Amino acid sequence: MNLDLYTETVGLSYEEAIKEAERCLNCKHKPCVDGCVAHMEIPSMIKAFLEGRGEEAKQIAESKNSFPEICGRVCYQDIQCEAKCVRMKMNAPVKIGLIERFIGDHYSSNKKIENENSINVAIIGSGPSGLSCALTLRQAGFNVTVFEKKSILGGVLKFGIPPYRLPNNVVDNRIEELMDLGVKFQVEENFGRTRDYMSLFNEGFDAMYLAMGASKQNFSKIEGSDHPKLIGWKQFLSILNIGEDSFHEHFKHIKRLCVVGGGNVAMDVSISAAKFGIETHLIYRRTIDLMPARKAEIEECLHLGVKVHELVDPIAVYDNEDQLHVKCKHTKLVKVDEFDRGTIVDDEGFFELDCDLMVMAIGSSVKRLNFDGLALDSQGRIIVNEQYETNIDRVYAAGDIVSGTKTVIHALSAGKLAAQSIINRFSKGNE
């Protein structure tokens, strides 16, 4: 086993963080802020850090982003804030993500509870949106209980991101901090099946926040899709995140792995498998240059020796002795104009590959909720207004369950904003 699978990439030392922060020009128009999904005051955070006010720097970060140490690790800074950095035009952008990670890791924000009140809020889901909402509400004095379907807290932060990118202890530390602040957690609570959502109001809760994310794995409609040697990316990464022993036990017999997809999830699976020493093949129906994954992830994938098969699309899987036979059709792209990614059409011939396991890594979508009366769109996403209110009074929702699959920072930001709407609703005179 390659231990890099569970060894996090080293961050910046204090000296390196200072040196990098000194590169910030503190631009008047702050393009990095515009590039940040949460519109965090990045120059102000960096300035406070440089002036020796590290705790204030963390508070600035947390005013828009509840968990800077997490975003500093998993945010796509290269296509967001850093992509807007003026330094990009000179040599290289300021490493905003690594600075944010250092600040998040090394300074305390001294969180305090303001104005304790008797308002009880139930949060369904312990992923980034739910945790962010819980923190903001609790700091405002609300009584918060987070309900989680699984036996382990953290949602996609614990099961959807490889540990070399986001170690479990980073997430666990934040959850422990929330517990210390008084946030309650209940696990193995499956609403819509074993419990009715609206029963929470009968139990004394004044508001409800739905933050279940996009929990439904996407699978291609191929012949043999129910084959036991064909699994989804969530199963793969969940096993990975449980720990080294679990991963080794489940995948020690896998010599050749086939991964389907071209996004960041496909890269996470492919890179993890390659680090483990598995011969990894990545199947994508378009070309490498059209992959939606981050360029850095694609480059790492190729560097690790992952074999990318472009312009092929799986159509069937079936047994071939003790292996899984994957049959794909060749594809080609028909472009309408220079900006079109191309319409996929069948080409002549087939591509075939034997493997020990196939992972479908084409993202996820929203699972339609069993919630009577809740307004949903055609894709099963919850419909909300600008205040994150659903059509049911005192029921709020945000994150992937509303927007569809987006990034961690989108979810964290949405959770904080939704919390503020709840706070406004129950402020004096509006209860």
Both tokens assigned to 389:
């209110």
Both tokens assigned to 382:
């919850």
Residues 55 and 419: their CA atoms lie apart, in Å, by 23
Per-residue pLDDT of the chain (431 residues; tens, 9 = 90+): 455 788 888 899 999 999 999 999 999 899 999 999 999 999 999 999 999 999 999 999 999 989 999 999 999 999 999 999 999 888 899 999 999 999 999 999 777 888 899 999 999 999 999 999 999 999 999 999 999 999 999 999 999 999 999 999 999 999 999 999 999 999 999 998 888 999 999 999 999 999 999 988 888 889 999 999 999 999 999 999 998 888 999 999 999 999 999 999 999 999 999 999 999 999 999 999 999 999 999 999 999 999 999 999 999 999 999 999 999 999 999 987 776 778 889 999 999 999 999 999 998 899 999 999 999 999 999 999 999 999 999 999 999 999 998 999 999 999 999 999 999 999 865 55
Nearest to 305 by CA among 263, 273, 329, 328: 273
Q: What is the phi/psi pair of residue 207, to 5°?
A: -150, 160
Residue where the block lists tokens 């609790």: 138
pTM of the predicted model over 0.85: yes
Contacts (Cβ under 8 Å, ≥6 apart) of 120 = 142, 143, 144, 145, 204, 205, 206, 207
Nearest to 233 by CA among 311, 150, 156: 156
Q: Report the Cα 121 to chain-centroid distance in Å.
A: 24
For 117, the 3-state DSSP assignment is: coil
Burial bucket for residue 38 (CB in 10 Å: 0-12, 13-18, 19+): buried
> What is the predicted pLDDT for the residue at 339?
65
What is the signed CA dihedral for 197, 203, 209, 212, rounded to 10 degrees? -50
Residues 366 and 370: their CA atoms lie apart, in Å, by 12
> What is the predicted pLDDT for the residue at 314?
96
Residues 3 and 335: their CA atoms lie apart, in Å, by 43
Q: Which sign, positive or negative, has the C-alpha torsion 87, 67, 16, 268?
A: negative
Amino acid identity for residue 330 in this structure: H
Residues 382 and 402: their CA atoms lie apart, in Å, by 5
Q: What is the phi/psi pair of residue 358, to 5°?
A: -125, 135
Residues 407 and 75: their CA atoms lie apart, in Å, by 7
> What is the predicted pLDDT for the residue at 337?
77
Answer left, alpha or beta for residue 277, where phi above 0 means left and psi between -120 and 50 means alpha.
Answer: left
Domains and CATH numbers, the chain: 3-106 (1.10.1060.10), 120-214+366-425 (3.50.50.60), 217-360 (3.50.50.60)
Residues 273 and 236: their CA atoms lie apart, in Å, by 10
For 273, the 3-state DSSP assignment is: helix
Residue where the block lists tokens 């903001």: 136
Residues 174 and 138: their CA atoms lie apart, in Å, by 14
Cβ–Cβ under 8 Å, residues 215 and 130: no
Residue where the block lists tokens 């929990």: 215
> What is the predicted pLDDT for the residue at 431?
53
Both tokens assigned to 284:
């994508």
Q: Which sign, positive or negative, has the C-alpha torsion 28, 33, 39, 41?
A: negative
Residues 282 and 273: their CA atoms lie apart, in Å, by 11
Residues 389 and 92: their CA atoms lie apart, in Å, by 42
Residues 143 and 422: their CA atoms lie apart, in Å, by 12
